[in-house]
Amino acid sequence: MARARAARLRLFFGTELPLLAILAFGLLPWFWMMLSALRPEADWTHLPIRFLPTRLTLSHVVSLLAGTSFLGNLLNSLVVALGTLVFGLALALPAAYAFSRFRFRGRRGFRVLFLVVNMFPVVLLILPLFVIFRRLSLLDTYPALILADATFALPFAVWLLTGYMETIPRDLDEAAMIDGATRLQTMRLVILPLALPGIVAVGIYLFIASWNEYLFALMLSGERVRTVTVALQMFIGENQVHWGLLTAGGALVALPVVVLFLAVQRHLVGGLTGGAVKG
């Protein structure tokens, strides 16, 4: 009895309590933002500020959507994120298939290079990309943000998809080609359906990376294609912070990502774990 109780205490203090602390550290700011978005204006001037609002109101959300251009900013972010997803997968899928199925000179070096690229901070890419897009007259356009986001997210996407495709037996490729399928048909009809969890994981990664990106959006966009991450910063003035609009905007930005993650979490976990096994 005493031994079982001691084991239970070790489990609680060694595993359960640290996990609860990590969850609280990650979720409490999110809950605070959601509650603050529904908090009436009078609660912001009450000291000390209560964790739970006195009542719930949608006035901040209504003011944000009706009185600002935030709805258009949401649309801009959606276009950029979906464009990054489509463009990134269009490049990552054939690259990952080539890395997983072919053996060529420099293959290992290229895969290591993909990881090395992610070690450099994003700020190093800003000036070269700004100069390139300015010469191409692409500043403040959707293609500029899509290309910039994909440039930073693509190496990890290729690396993750390569690791996942390497878990699919090559015998399936050989059997399909014996039956008369071309290499492209084999990839499209055999490999891609089996790699669906990995594709979903990479797609969600590309979408979230673009949706949450701030530095590229700040430097490469203007009023025409301003995204929500840059729009939220506009509510922080030199002498005043519009807390109601800021928290309402943050809640609207976070909700689509949370809903998307909950909808595909099984595929996401399977794809991430599968891609991490090999490669």
pLDDT of residue 142: 94
Looking at domain 59-275, its CATH architecture is Orthogonal Bundle (1.10)
SS3 182: coil
pLDDT of residue 29: 85
- Output the tens digit of pLDDT for each of the chain's 279 residues: 677 777 787 777 778 788 888 888 888 888 888 888 888 877 777 777 777 888 888 888 898 888 888 999 999 999 999 999 999 999 999 989 988 888 888 778 887 777 777 777 778 878 888 999 999 999 999 999 999 998 888 888 888 888 888 888 888 888 888 888 888 888 888 888 888 888 888 888 899 889 989 989 999 988 889 999 999 988 887 677 788 888 889 888 888 887 877 776 666 655 455 444 444
pLDDT of residue 106: 78
What is the reported pTM?
0.83
CA atoms within 13 A on the CB side of 63: 16
Residue 65, Cβ density class (10 Å: 0-12 exposed, 13-18 middle, ≥19 buried): middle
Q: Determine the Cα–Cα distance for residues 47 and 257; give it in Å rounded to an integer.
A: 33
Residues sharing a CB contact under 8 Å with residue 164, sequence separation 6 or more, in sequence order: 96, 195, 197, 198, 201, 271, 274, 275
SS3 121: coil
How many other C-beta atoms lie within 10 A of the C-beta of residue 64?
25
Residues sharing a CB contact under 8 Å with residue 216, sequence separation 6 or more, in sequence order: 122, 126, 129, 145, 148, 149, 152
pLDDT of residue 276: 43
User: Per the structure block, which two tokens stand in for 188?
Assistant: 């499209």
**Which residue ranges make up each domain of the chain?**
59-275
